[in-house]
């Protein structure tokens, strides 16, 4: 991987301010990427804070290892998807952080096939050692399966059925093959559909909502008392899941008869409302325009 990618961590200062990493605290970053946030966590938790980083993408992991070389005595980096959290046997940590957005290489490197704007293999996998590619998914899925993917993950309600019918069973090798098929089916209406078509396929190929559900179930249990879990999400499907999971954990159980608190909540919301990027950051960094940041703290 080239080191020339222009990597700008989203909400970098806000993440540090609200998660409040302190000297010697431990951090688990389940979406290591190119280590932009990781560098800040490591500096804030010096001199002896431990850092664990996970990434499903071996190219990201290799690059992050180089960038974090100065902290090698304090870090543990693993090739893993955060959907594997329950079986990774990780220690409890003071901070758990997840940035659910695409990392810079996925967008900036045309060969990865994450954009419809350039020709590349129709892959869309974060971990190219696992799961089927987007090309395989299209080729071997029935119409209804594909239609459901475009409805659920792309929120393409009027177009989902037609997309399923047009694409199911087709053999596409490149991103341009897929783009051409959608353009042929929808004409001038295809252009605004393309981002959602690729988003839906990417989310399905990587089971993004499934692994997020695992993170939201397993992650809070890895926190120490006083520990904070922060999640950056980039579209409404993800944010709704994070919002619901955090609110459920922060809601005490009440007596059905008296309405009084029967069991206090073990967690609290640090951010009752999602934090968003400033107008200045959104203008400077397109990835920040849709971001929402939510934080949960463990009380007991």
Taken in order of first residue, the domains within the chain and their CATH numbers are: 12-105+209-298 (3.40.50.150), 132-205 (1.10.150.170)
Rounded CA separation 76/89 (Å): 13
290: helix, strand or coil: coil
Counting every residue written for the chain, the total comes to 300
pLDDT at 3: 43
Pairing of strands 261-263, 267-269: unpaired
pLDDT at 5: 47
pLDDT in tens, 230-263: 999 998 999 999 999 999 999 999 999 998 999 9
pLDDT at 110: 66
Within 8 A by CB and 6+ apart from 70, the residues are: none
pLDDT under 70: residue ranges of the chain: 1-7, 103-113
pLDDT at 103: 65
* pTM for the whole structure: 0.92
CB of 291 closer than 8 Å to CB of 277: yes
| Residue 252 DSSP symbol | P
Rounded CA separation 56/58 (Å): 6
């Amino acid at each position: 991987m080239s080191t020339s990618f222009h990597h700008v961590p989203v909400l970098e200062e806000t993440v540090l301010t609200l998660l409040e990493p302190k000297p010697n605290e431990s951090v688990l970053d389940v979406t290591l990427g190119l280590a932009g946030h990781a560098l800040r966590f490591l500096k804030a938790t010096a001199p002896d804070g431990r850092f664990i980083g996970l990434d499903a993408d071996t190219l990201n992991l290799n690059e992050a290892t180089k960038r974090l070389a100065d902290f090698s005595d304090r870090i543990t980096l693993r090739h893993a998807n955060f959907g594997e959290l329950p079986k990774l046997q990780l220690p409890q940590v003071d901070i758990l952080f997840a940035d659910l957005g695409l990392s810079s290489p996925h967008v900036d490197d045309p060969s990865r096939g994450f954009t419809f704007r350039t020709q590349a293999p129709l892959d869309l996998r974060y971990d190219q050692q696992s799961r089927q590619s987007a090309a395989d998914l299209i080729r071997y899925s029935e119409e209804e399966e594909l239609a459901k993917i475009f409805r659920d993950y792309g929120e393409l309600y009027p177009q989902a059925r037609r997309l399923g019918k047009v694409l199911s069973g087709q053999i596409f090798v490149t991103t341009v093959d897929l783009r051409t098929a959608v353009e042929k089916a929808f004409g001038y209406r295809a252009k605004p559909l393309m981002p959602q078509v690729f988003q839906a396929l990417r989310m399905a190929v990587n089971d993004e909502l499934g692994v997020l559900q695992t993170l939201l179930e397993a992650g809070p249990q890895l926190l120490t008392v006083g520990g904070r879990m922060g999640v950056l999400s980039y579209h409404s499907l993800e944010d709704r899941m994070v919002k619901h999971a955090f609110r459920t954990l922060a809601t005490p159980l009440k007596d059905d008869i008296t309405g009084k608190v029967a069991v206090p909540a073990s967690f609290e919301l640090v951010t009752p409302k999602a934090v968003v990027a400033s107008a200045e950051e959104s203008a400077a960094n397109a990835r920040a325009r849709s971001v929402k940041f939510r934080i949960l703290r463990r009380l007991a």
